[in-house]
Amino acid sequence: MTVKNDHITMLHGAGGTVMHDLIKNYIVKYFGDTASIEVPLEALDDAAVVGDVVLKSDSHAVKPIFFPGGDIGRLAVSGTVNDIAVLGAEPYALACGFVLEEGLALVDFEKILASMQQTCMEAEVSIVTGDTKVVEKGSLGGCVINTSGIGRRNAALEKNLEVVKQFRNDFKTRWILDSNLRAGDKIVLSGTVGDHGLAVLSAQEGLSFGSGIKSDVKPLNRLIRRLLGEVGGVVAMKDPTRGGLADALNEFSDKSHVGILVYEDKIPVRKDVRAACEMLGLDPFEVGNEGKIIIGVVKEKAEEALKLLRITEEGKEAEIVGEATTDFTGVAMQTVVGGKRIIARPVGDPVPRIC
């Protein structure tokens, strides 16, 4: 779907087709000539690779800055850490830029800082440089935080690639990329979808869904390190953030030139999230997550990957949800009632400013 508009709209930041078009037609148009870089801008992966360094920058503008299960500080550290980790790299240093809004209570600023410190400890990363700016009172909602970060190769990534090559002798890349899926690979999801978007929406609208839906926001790099180092065979990974599972699967499918079939009854959705989505007319597969990964793994290692995920706190509700195929293009879902339906790329995440 193309939206004709001469100005930026909220949909341009909502992670679906409208945002992808803005990035392609404007940002990549000016900066997307970096083919000498191993994983360049125009690959539009979760992060770039420059030499052996994985580099990522991410601004966080969630509204409100405190929500059930998390806050903007935890989100700012987790978001950048996870985007580096899904390429297979070990994140180790972050830069942090604060844009603070006049009127933000210092006690709230300090809460955010403490949350960032705690999340950095969980992720074993440090904030080593940064910047602070203040803007006049307006619609910022308290503050915006940019975090940028770097990651490096580690033993877990090397071990993972060795395992991949046992099953795939044409595997060339040194990183875990959206474009690496081949027919037969299994798709594993680390847990329930929709929790984060619904938690933020409930805080935005002052809604109570009666059952304590909380954001899943957390750093996943330690889980990913275990998965790569102790099992291996992972070829593609993504954190299904804005646009949710539907957008992430379509990214995989487009960039890898394979079809993806998923099974509705295998995709974990909390009962209260499903009920809230039904009430609000939302599709839980299009709602953003901040503590989940979607993993493409060679079929020979899928059961082992699932087993490992399930013994961890972050992955205890993991499921093998589908597989890559050459039977069709795009993403399709086998529904519980027996038919197949197409999972199209969403126009935009139905919940605004979730990250």
Q: How far is the CB of 248 from Mg ion (least distance, A)?
A: 8
Of these, 45, 58, 185, 239, which contacts Mg ion (CB under 5 A)?
A: 239
Min dist CB 190 to Mg ion, Å, is: 14
Interface stretch with Mg ion, choices 105-113, 234-242, 251-259, 312-320 (CB under 5 A): 234-242
| Whole-number Å distance between alpha carbons of 304 and 275 | 32
Q: Which residue has the tokens 């503008």?
A: 61
Q: How deeply is 95 buried, as exposed, middle or buried, from its count of CB atoms within 10 A (0-12, 13-18, 19+)?
A: middle
Give the range of 37-45, 134-142, 185-193, 232-240 binding Mg ion by CB under 5 A.
232-240
By CB under 5 A, how many residues form the interface with Mg ion? 3
Q: How far is the CB of 100 from Mg ion (least distance, A)?
A: 26
Measured between alpha carbons, how far is 214 from 197 in angstroms, rounded to an integer? Answer: 9
Q: Which of 45, 83, 90, 247 binds Mg ion (CB under 5 A)?
A: 83
Q: Which is nearer to Mg ion, 46 or 349 (CB)?
A: 46
Give the rounded distance of the alpha carbon of 89 from its chain centre: 15
Select 209 or 290, whichever has its Cβ closest to Mg ion: 290
Q: Please report whether residue 46 would count as binding Mg ion according to CB under 5 A.
A: yes
Q: How far is the CB of 330 from Mg ion (least distance, A)?
A: 20
Q: How many CB atoms lie within 10 A of CB 100?
A: 18
CB-based burial, 104-138: b 16+ in 10 Å, e otherwise:
beeeebebbeebbeebbeebebebeeeeeeeeeee
Identify which range of 38-46, 184-192, 265-273, 347-355 contacts Mg ion by CB under 5 A: 38-46
The stretch near Mg ion (CB under 5 A) out of 22-30, 111-119, 239-247, 327-335 is: 239-247
- In sequence order, the 6+-apart residues with CB closer than 8 A to the CB of 31 are 41
Cβ 46 to Mg ion, closest distance in Å? Answer: 4
Which one, 196 or 202, has the nearer CB to Mg ion? Answer: 196
Q: Which CB sits closer to Mg ion, 56 or 186?
A: 56
Task: State the residue number with the nearest CB to Mg ion.
Answer: 46
- Site for Mg ion, rule CB under 5 A: 46, 83, 239
